[in-house]
Amino acid sequence: MYQRRALQGYEKALGPGHTSTLCTVNNLGALYADQSKLDEAEKMYQDHTSTLDTVNNQLGSLYVDQGKLDEAEKMYQRALQGYEEALGLENVARYQPALNTIWNLGNLFATQGHLDEANE
């Protein structure tokens, strides 16, 4: 698989935290998810949880798709806490990725039947 080879090359040449490496992780994880290889997608995202985007959008959403709602909640909470620490509480409401996390968390609470928490 060419994307797997590209990921190995990026990790070796640029390091695991480089944006090109992380973009390839995202693409490869999404490819696995699209192919219904959810365990492989999960492993890909778990091995690369160095960015809040991976924690929130990829791994959290994958857990929702797998029905692992408690795990998804942990990922969304972790991402939200990271945004709050990085941006400060006063700036979270102005940063789209942080707002996406809040939205995802609200949807998850609604799915779980925790409507009071979803409306907070």
**Do 62 and 115 lie in a common domain?**
yes
**Do 44 and 58 lie in a common domain?**
no
**Do 101 and 71 lie in a common domain?**
yes
Looking up tokens 């365990």 gives 39
pLDDT in tens, 82-119: 888 878 888 889 988 888 889 999 999 999 888 888 77
Q: Where does residue 29 rank: exposed (0-12), middle (13-18), buried (19+ CB within 10 A)?
A: buried
**Do 66 and 27 lie in a common domain?**
no
pLDDT in tens, 25-75: 777 878 888 888 888 888 877 776 666 666 666 788 889 989 999 999 988
Rounded distance, CA 13 to CA 99, Å? 34
**Do 86 and 57 lie in a common domain?**
yes
pLDDT at 13: 92
Domain interval for residue 36: 1-50
Structural domain count, the chain: 2
Residue positions counted in the chain: 120
